[in-house]
Amino acid sequence: EAGVAQSPRYKIIEKRQSVAFWCNPISGHATLYWYQQILGQGPKLLIQFQNNGVVDDSQLPKDRFSAERLKGVDSTLKIQPAKLEDSAVYLCASSLLGGSGGVGTDTQYFGPGTRLTVL
């Protein structure tokens, strides 16, 4: 079974530029998550989708970050404009369901991440 795919793996940009990350979840997984992992910290949830609807985006800096999941499969996370403090690894995860089916179906599987450096 193919895992969660992410691209690009690495990205270096100047501050105030824009950047986009792509995620393809495990086939059949209804729920998709974007996490931000700053160096030395644990991952922090940015946004959670159930199919193509947003479940939780309470920690997404909406003035500069946006995310979409068209057709309930792939997802894109965008930063515009980027700041120095956005330097981090952006992790995408997916789960079969999103909290209603018990932990067996809610286990999150993570992709390899995209390492963003903002100069």
Residues that bind other proteins (CB under 8 A): 4, 6, 31, 40-45, 48, 55-56, 91, 93, 95, 97-99, 102-104, 106-113, 115
- CA–CA distance, 52 with 40 (Å, rounded to integer): 32
How long, in residues, is the chain?
A: 119
Least separation in angstroms between CB 50 and other proteins: 9
Q: Which is nearer to other proteins, 2 or 14 (CB)?
A: 2
User: Please, are residues 101 and 49 in contact by the beta-carbon 8 Å criterion?
Assistant: no
**Phi-psi map region of 102: left, alpha, beta (phi>0 left; psi -120 to 50 alpha):** left
Least separation in angstroms between CB 16 and other proteins: 27
Q: Which is nearer to other proteins, 28 or 104 (CB)?
A: 104
> Is there a cis peptide before residue 25, judged by omega within 30 degrees of 0?
no
Q: Dig out the tokens for 96 from the structure.
A: 């079969």
Q: Which is nearer to other proteins, 28 or 42 (CB)?
A: 42
Q: Which is nearer to other proteins, 14 or 104 (CB)?
A: 104
Least separation in angstroms between CB 52 and other proteins: 17
